[in-house]
Structures are given as structure tokens and as C-alpha cells.
Structure 1
């Protein structure tokens, strides 16, 4: 699938309601106060991020909240692989930054701005609660350096 600005709603539906419910349940293990409504929004931000990552060769970095959903989705490999393939790629790789030196907050802000700009450019809505610098998530976010793979094979 080639993603265009008129298809975000279609892409958001690539994760079934059953898998959405499982992901929300899984994320609650680390985020016990997560409501169903916030969980639905989190899955939507995950979808927007992953779909956008398939539309560029530049690595994109998720916020920590989006990354939490991504980690849980990766553990459900069958729907994750089906989702990746529905977007026209074999697999969207999660590439952690293993370099030493710890978090880079300034680099993180820059990476988040690039990711949210790319998400918006494809016509998805960016939810400020899930992206630092845009809303409530800012106070608890740092840049851990995870990205998607710039090579989508």
C-alpha cells in the first residue's frame, strides 16, 4: 500500500479491534492508569508512526509512549507482520540505539519534531498527549534513540 494524505483513516483500520484491545491490555502492564480511550489513541499514534516510517527512508524516532505500544505490538508477531505487509513492507524493524552516553534530550526533541512533522505531512493527526514538546507527555520523556529501520525490506 502506498500511503497518501487521503488514506489515514484506512490505514488506522489495519489493526483490528481485537488486536487493539490486546495491545491496550498489554500496555497496561507498564501503564496501569491507561484508560481505554487513551489506549485507543495510543494505538492510533502507533499506527500513524509506523505507517509514516514506511513512507520515508529517513529513520523516525517514536516518543516513549508510542514506543511502549510498539514494543507490545512487536511481541504479537503474527498481527505485527500482517500489519507491516499490509503497508507494503516485509517488516518494520525496531532499531534501538546501543551507543553509550545515555539519553540526549535535545536530540530527542529534534527527533520528535521530525517524526511529528512527517506524520502530519502524511495526513495523520498528531496527539499531543503522546509526543513530548506538544503536550502532557513532555515532562516524562527523554530521547532513548530507538528508530525504525531506514531500510524496509
Structure 2
């Protein structure tokens, strides 16, 4: 596993307060109406940690379902999203849905999420159990359709 260490505070600061509020609002309105402000703030932090790792690893990183909700909202903010990816130093992080049957296998989803959570911790970030429910229910253990990042292979940066 190859990951680059980032100062977690500086990565979290790459998302402005205004954008944080907008991402939380979008996730609440589009996917998770009962989400609290605290859950929203933690979700943005978990997204930032996930993307920081995804930007600088040669391995595939897969978000949890809840982290993926925030990723979907962030991708729609194309300019700030591209700027965030650039600031991480690993090039643009593509959101790659996997609509094959493998993308819907709960055991494979849990294993991919476990590996991703380990990479996040190894990079110096906190993993929030509510957003990385490694032993949780199947519908919470993998992104819908098995979304993942585009592994940083040194190509296309």
C-alpha cells in the first residue's frame, strides 16, 4: 500500500466553510434528510480524508455509502472539486461507478471499505465508525453500485 501523508488539518481546511455548508445541505436534501449538522460536518471530514488517500495511493480506494453521498455532492461542484484534487497533489480523482455484480457484493464491499479505512488511518486521519461501518449492515457497507476512485498510477495526471 502506497500512501502519502498529509497534515489532516490542512486537508480539512481545503474545503471552505461555505462549500462545507453547501455539501451538507445537498446531502441532506438529496439523500439523507434526517442527517444532523454534526453528522454533516463529520461526513465532509471523512470525505476529505478519503479523497486525500485516494489521490495519493496506487491502490483502489472505495468509499462507504455515506462517504459516497458527500462525494456525489462534491463532484457536482466541478471547480472547487478539481481545485481540491489538485491541492492534494495526486491529480484529478475520478468517480468510477461499478455497475457489475461485483459492485453489489456485500462481502467484497466490506473488504474494500476495510482496506480503504486502513489506508485512511495509515495516512494519519481519523476514521469515524458511523461513516465506515466495517461490520455494519450490507446497505451501509459499500457505495451504491460499488463506486471507487481512479487509482493513481502516474498516468493522466
Do they superpose with TM above 0.5? yes
Give structure 1 stretches of 5+ with no counterpart.
none
Deviation of the 1:4 alpha carbon? 2.0
| C-alpha separation in 2, matches of 1:102 and 1:119 | 21
State the match for 1:66 in structure 2. 67
Aligned residues: 148
Deviation of the 1:100 alpha carbon? 3.9
Contact 1:103–1:142 (CA<8 Å) still a contact in 2?
no
Question: What's the RMSD between the two structures over aligned residues?
Answer: 1.8
Deviations 1:43-88 (A, max 9, x none): 0000000000112111100000000000000001111011011111
| C-alpha separation in 2, matches of 1:15 and 1:105 | 31
Deviation of the 1:117 alpha carbon? 0.2
State the match for 1:118 in structure 2. 119
* 2:11 is aligned with 1:11: yes
**TM-score of the superposition, structure 2-length normalised?**
0.87
**TM-score of the superposition, structure 1-length normalised?**
0.90
Runs of 4+ more than 6 Å apart: none
Change (3 A) 1:101 1:133: closer
Deviation of the 1:90 alpha carbon? 3.1
